[in-house]
Chains A and B, each alone.
Chain A
Amino acid sequence: MKFHLPFKRRRERERELDEELRAHLAMAVRERIEQGEDPAEAEANARREFGNVPLVKEVTRDQWGWRWLETLLQDLRYGLRQLRRNPGFTIVAVLTLALGIGATTAVFSLLDAVLLRPLPYSHPEQLFRLYPTDRSGRHTMEATSYPDFHDWEDQSRTFESMAAYYDQDFNFTGADQPERLRGLCSTPGLLALLGVHPRLGRAFSPSDGRHVALLSYRLWQRRFAGDPSVLGKLIHLDGWDYTVMGVLPQRFYFPPQEFEGELTAEVFVPAVPNLDRSWNYVRAIGRLAPGVTAQQARTEMGGIAARLAHVYPDVDHGQRVAFGRLDRVAISGTHETAWMLFVAVAFVLLIACANVANLLLARDAAREHEFAVRRIVGATRSRLMRQLLTECVLLAILGGASGVVFANWMLPLVTYLAPQNTMLYTRIHDVGVHLNGSVFLFCAFLVVLSAMLFGVLPTWRATSAEHSCGSTPHIGRIRGPLIGLEVALSIVLLTGAGLMMRSLIRLRNVDVGFRTSRLLTLDVSLPAKRYDSAEKQATFFRRVLGSFGSLPSVLSAAAVTNLPLTRTSTWKTFDIPGTHARQGKAEYNAVSPDYFRTMGISLLSGREIMNSDSAHTPLICVISWRMAQEYWPNRNPVGESIIAKHALVMPTARGTSRQFKPQQLEIVGVVGDVRQLGLDTPPEPETYVPYSQWPSEEMSLVLRTKSEPSSLIPTVEKVIWSVDLDQPITSVRTMDQWVSREAASRRFVLQLIGVFALIAIALAVVGLYGVVSYWTRQRTHEVGIRMALGAEKRDVLRMVVEQGLKLSLIGVVIGVAGAFALTRFLSSLLYGVTPTDLLTFVAVSLILIAVALVACYIPARRAAKVDPMVALRYE
């Protein structure tokens, strides 16, 4: 190791000092000889009188200043030499640390992207979501009514400003392919409230009317090639013309949380106020006035809500207003997962550190002689400690650097594995996961932390006074507990992975109520302008379904308002007339006649919906088994009837309004239960009504195909565009994709925890193997004597394995206790297993014990093979 210029002078001085002291000795010897001493004697006496040469040099050098730097460089040089001299140890230690630090860094950058990056609004900490509660005042609801929002905005003084928004999708038509766009309708003040200025043009104002639009940066790039002349141009949304007022900044996204799978709304238009106070459809957001605390705002909003409840008792009775800080709301549901992964990866890092500490202990045992010599020639303990810790930091730096490489390699993988259509995915792809400054800073912190974690114990031990003179080392006393700790941490991780795996298997085997294979699904939303009557809407779907049905590779095709397993459902209340009069609530789906056959939903009694059920025949419905059980227990409900309200949305001068018309429906059949919301949500009561009697402009289409469904996508698009060239199609997926999306979040967590658990076990096994090997080497002599005295190989094997197993068992017991305490944090991700699932705990413990057995058996067998004569001569 060479250091240049600034240290050149220093090397010279070093040489001078050397010569100065040699001259001193030479003169002392010469004088003694002149006084008549024998040359050899003179030399020895002069040396004795002089004292410890290196020590004199050291204390002299101390006077030069910059001593600490000198020491550090010396230690670094020495440390590097040590690491180079021991390449096996160095490689294993650096790789272990790289795994630990790299994985932790990768997860931290995920955390950084998902949780720690601020929302792209000015002072996001002042922004709050406002939620109305239901009548009980206990449950919050996402949306409120426009009149209520307007009163809040009007009366509140603690909020500087408020805005309301709701999402609405638009069919974007024009030059190219028609496209379905995520849209957001907001009151004019939204952008001003967020403190965001459009990149181009301006935000809309109340005087702009209804048909103005702002485009997201992405939409502007994608459809207009970033052309600035887009301002003032007309775009077609649902067949209406909207004037483009502006383009939003590239980094802007809104809403911060509620859009699944999409980064942001792509088009922003003014909200249409609906004056019905009972229709909750707008989401409210507010910015606190400067100097106002959330508590003050809460008090004020409480007063406002109480006043509204008094003035409008029929709709607002009992309603309160709840708050949520926008930045917290935005990460709810995601941050639990992210923190859990972080804890899991911290375990991996701990295990890695424990392993390196173990390696160091073993290596230092081999260096004991060196330490003893250095102590004897005068090195102080603190000096030795400093030097050993420098070696540890060096090791950690090497590990950290390799860890960054490892993390950099792992990140695209993590991004790739992240489940689509989840907040995690959205955030990852929106802000991107990078190794940025804060990640590097964190990595540097990890380097120091891990150096301390793995370095302190071995250093303290290696420099402790009692064995510096070569007394028998009691390494096992420290290494044993370290191994126990590793096993315990591995158990916790493996238990987490095991529970996730059981959940996934349970989810896989859930009976969803229909056959998911070979189903192609897609969404169609007809624009209200061109399809302004139920007649026109029904005609479109009839023609499309007819064409689908005649395709040779399609067995049957159907339409439904809410496809199962897609996390959407419509709930409606209904009344049961007659003697058993009561009110009920059920999911509601309008379907085309072939729906049950296409999906493979079994008919349990009565009849299906048929082509003959039309707008001109009596209203009928088919109900699910669960609904029959709940409302007509022990009776066949076929022939009974329910009264449902049919909502008619009427356009008015000041927006839209709804009218309800109660209708009596006869129950004609009962079908099997279907998991409507998702794999993990049990079936709810459900009513199916004929599409022809309850038309809707938004439908999902399902096709049961003969071959692989995704191969049909081009054909399906062609069929739809042959009926209406301007009709966009969205969410073209196979049902299997929906199903796998259902398990995606859990699978992601399982994959990561699984990888962490595997790394953990691998490290623990390596550690255990190392310790047991070390023991057997230390006890070769003892083994030799035992065998010479007649011990069988079996006995030796048992002795060694028993000892290793004892360690692992202690680790397993502690680990099981730890897992017992920690797995409940997983419970939101589990399905069908409890966090303390006995089978998982037993299986995990057995797996670990089995692995530990193997790790002990190999060195044990080697010990048993020892030739007693060789072993005895060994000493």
Chain B
Amino acid sequence: MAKKPRYQNRIELLQGTLDMLIMRTLQWGPQHGYGISRAIRTGSDEVLTVETGSLYPALHRLEKQGWIAAEWKLTENSQRAKFYRLTPAGRKHLVHEQSRWEEFVKAVSGVMKPAEEKS
């Protein structure tokens, strides 16, 4: 069978992190898919680019889980777009995720530090 890389694999790779990034972006206010991807890209100094094939499944998944809600609105350029906003449940979840992320980063850097000193 084809050895073609599949989008689903990338979603799985990024899963928790991408969800967190999306919700973090939405903390500043409702945003549409394109806006979210742009915010993540500029926020990370162009390091992180979010593929549409990962972004939209993630948005729809978060919406299904009730952490974000969607609404059709016009952009400042009068473009009709689907705006996502954080729900109270999503807000709580984001706090939880953020503390877990910080623990994770601390743990990883704890492991990585000694190696850095040796070199």
A interface with B by C-beta (< 8 Å)? 16-17, 19-21, 23-24, 26-28, 30-31, 50-52, 55-56, 59-60, 62-65, 380-381, 465
Which of chain B's residues 32-84 have a Cβ closer than 8 Å to chain A?
32-35, 38, 51-53, 56-57, 59-61, 64, 72, 75, 77, 79-82
| Contact A64:B64 (CB < 8 A) given known A23-B34, A55-B7, A56-B52 | yes
Q: Is B57 a contact of A62 with CB atoms below 8 Å?
A: yes
Known: A16-B82, A51-B53, A55-B53. A60 touches B2 (CB 8 A): no
Q: Decide: B8 and A27 in contact? CB cutoff 8 A.
A: no
Asked if A24 meets B53 with Cβ closer than 8 Å, knowing A19-B80, A60-B60, A63-B60, the reply is: no
Smallest CB gap from A31: residue in B: B38
What A residues does B59 contact at CB under 8 A? 60
Smallest Cβ-Cβ distance to A61: which chain B residue: B60
Q: Is B115 an interface residue (CB 8 A)?
A: no
Could you tell me the distance between the alpha carbons of A30 and B76 in the complex, rounded to whole angstroms?
12
Q: Is the C-beta of B111 less than 8 angstroms from some C-beta in chain A?
A: no
Query: Is the pair A21, B56 in contact by a Cβ cutoff of 8 Å?
Result: yes
Q: How far is the CB of B75 from chain A (nearest CB, A)?
A: 7
Measured CA separation A317–B115 after assembly (Å): 102
Secondary structure of the B contact surface, majority rule = helix
> Is B77 a contact partner of A21 (Cβ separation < 8 A)?
no
Give the Cβ gap from B104 to chain A, nearest Cβ, in Å. 25
Which residue of the partner chain, among A60, A380, A465, contacts B56 with CB atoms under 8 Å? A60
A59 engages B61 (CB within 8 Å): no
Q: Please, which residues of chain B bring their CB within 8 A of the CB of A380?
A: 2, 6
Of B1, B53, B81, which contacts A59 at CB under 8 A?
Answer: B53
On chain B, the residues within 8 Å of A51 by CB distance are 51-53
Cβ-closest chain A residue relative to B56:
A60
Closest-CB distance, B9 to chain A (whole angstroms): 11
B21, CB-defined interface residue at 8 Å: no
**Which residue in B2, B75, B81 is a CB contact (below 8 Å) of A20?**
B81
> CB of B11 within 8 A of chain A?
yes
* Cβ contact within 8 Å between B53 and A28: no
Q: What 1/0 flags go to B1-29 for Cβ under 8 Å of A?
A: 11000111001000000000000000000
- A20-B56, A51-B53 are known; give 10 further A-B pairs, CB within 8 A: A19-B82, A23-B32, A24-B33, A50-B52, A55-B7, A56-B52, A59-B56, A63-B57, A64-B64, A465-B2
Q: With A64-B64, A465-B2 given, is the CB distance from A30 to B77 under 8 Å?
A: yes
List A contacts of B64 (CB < 8 A): 63-65
Known: A60-B60, A63-B64, A65-B64. A465 touches B1 (CB 8 A): yes
Report the separation of the CA atoms of residues A24 and B35 in the bound assembly, to the nearest whole angstrom.
9
Chain B 71-115: CB-based contact to A (< 8 A → 1; otherwise 0): 010010101111000000000000000000000000000000000
- Other-chain contact of B52, A21, A26, A65 (Cβ < 8 Å): A21
A59-B57 in contact (CB<8A): yes
Contact between B34 and A27 (Cβ–Cβ < 8 Å)?
A: yes
Number of residues in B with C-beta < 8 Å to the partner? 27
Given A20-B56, A21-B52, A465-B2, the answer on whether A59 and B7 have CB atoms closer than 8 Å is yes
A59 touches B8 (CB 8 A): yes
A56 to B80 alpha-carbon distance, docked (Å): 20
Residues in A neighbouring B51, C-beta threshold 8 A: 51
Beta-carbon contact of B1 and A24 below 8 Å: no
Instruction: Specify which chain B residues have a CB less than 8 angstroms from the CB of A465 in the assembled complex.
Output: 1-2
Once the chains are docked, how many angstroms separate the CA of A52 from the CA of B6? 12
- Interface residues of B, Cβ cutoff 8 Å to A: 1-2, 6-8, 11, 32-35, 38, 51-53, 56-57, 59-61, 64, 72, 75, 77, 79-82
Given A16-B82, A20-B82, A55-B53, A64 and B34 touching (CB < 8 A)? no
In the complex the two chains form, what is the Cα distance from A63 to B54 in whole Å?
A: 11
Q: With A and B bound together, what is the CA distance between A349 and B98 in angstroms?
A: 64
* Assembled-state Cα–Cα distance A754/B80 (Å): 71
A20 lies within 8 A of B33 (CB): yes
Could you say which of A24, A52, A60 contacts B34, with CB atoms under 8 Å apart?
Answer: A24
Of A16, A60, A64, most B-chain CB atoms within 10 Å = A60
List chain A residues, Cβ under 8 A from B33.
20, 23-24
- Min C-beta distance of B80 to chain A, whole Å: 6
Q: Which residues of B contact A62 (CB under 8 A)?
A: 8, 57
Interface CB pairs A-B, < 8 A, 25: A17-B56, A19-B82, A20-B81, A20-B82, A21-B56, A23-B34, A23-B81, A24-B81, A26-B79, A27-B32, A27-B35, A27-B77, A28-B34, A30-B77, A51-B53, A55-B53, A59-B8, A59-B11, A59-B53, A59-B57, A60-B56, A63-B64, A64-B60, A64-B64, A465-B2
Kindly list chain A residues whose C-beta atoms are within 8 Å of the C-beta of B77: 27, 30
Are the CB atoms of B82 and A23 closer together than 8 Å?
yes
Best-buried of B7, B35, B51 by chain A (most CB within 10 Å): B7
Complex Cα spacing A30 to B75, Å:
12
For residue A264, give the distance in angstroms from its CB to the closest CB of chain B. Answer: 64
Which residues of A have CB within 8 Å of B61?
63
* CB <8 Å contact, B79 and A60: no
Is there an interface contact between A27 and B1, defined as CB atoms closer than 8 Å? no
A-B complex: 8 closest residue pairs judged by Cβ atoms? A63-B60, A60-B56, A23-B81, A27-B34, A24-B34, A63-B61, A20-B82, A56-B53
| Chain B min CB distance to A63 (Å) | 4
B75 and A27 form a contact (CB under 8 A): yes
From B53, which residue of chain A is reached at the shortest CB distance? A56
Nearest A residue (CB) for B58? A63
C-alpha gap A28/B8 in the complex (Å): 24
Q: Is B80's CB under 8 angstroms from A23's CB?
A: yes
- A60 in contact with B57 given A21-B52, A51-B51 (CB within 8 Å): yes
Whole-angstrom distance from the CB of B53 to the nearest CB of chain A? 5
Q: Is there an interface contact between B2 and A381, defined as CB atoms closer than 8 Å? A: yes
User: How many angstroms between the C-alpha atoms of A867 and B75 in the bound complex?
Assistant: 67
Closest to A24 in B: B34
Instruction: Report the separation of the CA atoms of residues A26 and B60 in the bound assembly, to the nearest whole angstrom.
Output: 20
Contact of A52 among B11, B53, B60, B72 (CB under 8 A): B53
Taking CB atoms, residues of chain B closer than 8 Å to A381 are 1-2
Nearest chain B CB to A438 CB, angstrom units: 41
Q: How far is the CA of A465 from the CA of B2 in the complex (A)?
A: 8
What's the least CB distance linking B60 to chain A, in Å? 4
Q: Give the residues in chain B near A17, CB-CB below 8 Å.
A: 56
CB-defined contacts of A28 to chain B, threshold 8 Å: 34
Q: How far is A16 from B34 in the complex, measured between Cα atoms in Å?
A: 15
Q: How many Å lie between the Cα of A60 and that of B2 in the bound state?
A: 22
Measured in the bound complex, the distance between the Cα atoms of B38 and A26 in whole Å is: 14
In the bound complex, CA of A381 to CA of B81 (Å):
34
In the complex, the answer to whether A56 meets B56 with C-beta atoms within 8 Å is yes
Chain A's closest residue to B36 (CB) is A24
User: Which residues of A lie under 8 Å from residue B8 when comparing CB positions?
Assistant: 59, 62
Alpha-carbon gap, A670 to B56, bound state (A): 104
Least Cβ–Cβ distance between A265 and chain B, in angstroms: 69
Q: Which of A24, A51, A381 has the most CB of B within 10 A?
A: A24
Closest chain-B Cβ to A692's Cβ sits at a distance in Å of 94
Residues of A within 8 A of B6 (CB): 380
Q: Which residues of B contact A30 (CB under 8 A)?
A: 77, 79
Interchain CA distance A52-B54 in the complex, whole Å: 12
Most buried by B among A23, A31, A64: A23
B62, closest chain A residue (CB): A63
How close is B12's CB to chain A, nearest CB, in angstroms? 12
> Please, which residues of chain B bring their CB within 8 A of the CB of A20?
32-33, 56, 81-82
What chain B residues lie within 8 Å of A52 (beta carbons)? 53
Chain B nearest CB from A221 CB (Å) reads: 67
- The complex places the Cα of A65 from the Cα of B65 at a distance, in Å, of 12
Instruction: Report the bound CA distance from A60 to B82 in whole Å.
Output: 15
Alpha-carbon distance A51/B11, docked complex (angstroms): 15
With a CB–CB cut-off of 8 A, which chain A residues contact B35? 27
Contact partners of B32 in chain A: CB under 8 A:
20, 23-24, 27
Instruction: Kindly state the separation between the CA atoms of A31 and B11 in the bound complex, as whole angstroms.
Output: 26
**CB of A372 to closest CB in B, whole Å:** 13
Give complex CA distance A62, B53 in Å.
11
- In the complex, residue of chain B having the shortest beta-carbon distance to the beta carbon of A378: B4
Chain B residues positioned under 8 Å from A64 (CB to CB): 60, 64
CA distance A28 to B1 in the complex (A): 35
